[in-house]
Structure 1
Amino acid sequence: MSTRKPLRLAVVSAGLSVPSSTRLLADRLAETVRSELAAAEREVEVEIIELRDLGVDIAKNFASGFPSPELSEAIESVTSADGLIAVTPVFTASYSGLFKSFFDVIDNDALTGKPVLAAATGGTARHSLALEHALRPLFAYLRAVVVPTAVYAASEDWGGNGDSLTDTLPRRITRAGSELAGLLRDLPGGGGQAVDDASVVPFAEQLSALRPE
């Protein structure tokens, strides 16, 4: 087994209900990444951040300019992690206000170069493009490294068989999780690596690393 430090994976879930399909998707993605890294003999510590529990703290931060201890802890967990899974329900064809507000209180440079897997849930497949017109641009603006496969789960995807043009949800989860694990696998671990513009891997190299040999 590798003697390197465990990798740290932050998982942000913006689901509002209990139980939540958003949290369910987040858990399945995290477990896939954990399994892929275990196969590569890398240990990973997963921390779940439920934004539902931080809604009031986030609103107060906008009004006062100061985060509560709980919000500060959540922000630190996300910004210091080696990688991030971010999952939101889709409201009005975009990410939820709670999801956007959380990332609004994070410093614009704090996610630079961080590997991110973006995912969303919704009642209908018609909202799946929110991944490309909302979530991916958000993390691109924050200069994160977003894996090629984003995962959207509509109500019919849970237990569905897909169709001739789309993979099933489990296959999409596996592909996206494998892509994130591929970016995390060779990091030093411990969430302590310094990331700046000079250390960001060019996108062509990122894609090359994800291609099967």
Structure 2
Amino acid sequence: MKLVVVSAGLSVPSSTRLLADRLTAATAHHTDVEVEVEVEVVELRDLATEIAQHLVTGFPPVRLAAALDAVAGAQGLIAVTPVFSGSYSGLFKSFFDVLDKDALTGKPVLIGATGGTARHSLVTEHALRPLFSYLRALVLPTAVYAASEDWGEEGLAARITRAGAELARFMAPESEAAPASGFEVVPFEQQLAALRVE
């Protein structure tokens, strides 16, 4: 099972990458021990020039093409961005602009963001969630925002744990995930046939 992590942090070290790593660890922790999780991290900072070239030429350079293929082939995605001017970063948006429009269809995506103040905490709802909904991804219910003052707080750790558990559940193979849903879908024709027999 492949999990791809997209981090748009610009500094080294980066709080955005730290949040991405913690979300990855929480997801791996909640994955069935019998399932091997392959994790690939895409650092957008390292691909900035290639993303700009692709936007201008329409052709992805080799490293960017590999990153785009990794995202398209993943069973789950973690996407984390710093907040710039009240929204996701331009680098983050540019990467998803060059991604194939069908690459995220039905794919479970865990969204996260980092910022200097709690005032930007709704960025996950007014910017990130609509972006991934437009790309037809399955955006998980729990999004994680981490302001500077959140690091080391229990609330952040609890949100990370809950979000990781959600992603692990949605990444599970269908045979494992089906019983957790609590219901079975029965085609209408089959229901109708059962009524006629009675």
Is the shorter-chain TM-score for this pair beyond 0.5, marking a shared fold?
A: yes
Residue 147 (structure 1) shift: 0.7
**Letter of the 2:14 counterpart:** S
2:21 maps to: 27
Partner deviation per Cα, 1:142-189 (whole Å, 9 max, x = no partner): 00001100000000000135xxxxxx100000000000001011258x
Task: Tell me the number of residue pairs that the alignment of Structure 1 and Structure 2 aligns.
Answer: 179
Q: Does 1:173 align with 2:166?
A: no
Partner deviation per Cα, 1:102-153 (whole Å, 9 max, x = no partner): 0000111111000100000000010011100000000000000011000000
**Letter of the 1:92 counterpart:** S
Aligned runs of 1:97-112 on 2, under 5 Å? 97-112=90-105
1:184 maps to: 171
Structure 2: distance between partners of 1:115 and 1:137: 14
1:80 maps to: 73
Alignment RMSD (CA, Å): 1.6
Partner deviation per Cα, 1:21-80 (whole Å, 9 max, x = no partner): 0000000000111111144x3210000000000000000111111100000000001010
1:137 maps to: 130
Match of 1:37 among 31, 34, 38: 31
Match of 1:18 among 4, 12, 20: 12
Q: Which runs of 5+ in 1 are unaligned?
A: 1-6, 162-167, 189-204
TM superposition outliers: structure 1 runs of 4+ over 6 Å: none
**Letter of the 1:157 counterpart:** D
Residue 90 (structure 1) shift: 0.5
**Letter of the 1:63 counterpart:** V
Question: Contact 1:115–1:144 (CA<8 Å) still a contact in 2?
Answer: yes
Question: Contact 1:182–1:209 (CA<8 Å) still a contact in 2?
Answer: no
Structure 2: distance between partners of 1:112 and 1:55: 25
Query: Which has more helix, going by share of residues?
Result: 2
Match of 1:67 among 57, 60, 65: 60
Structure 1: distance between partners of 2:113 and 2:62: 28
The normalised TM-score by structure 2 is 0.87
Structure 2: distance between partners of 1:121 and 1:154: 6
1:159 maps to: 152
The normalised TM-score by structure 1 is 0.81
Q: SS in structure 1 opposite 2:127?
A: helix
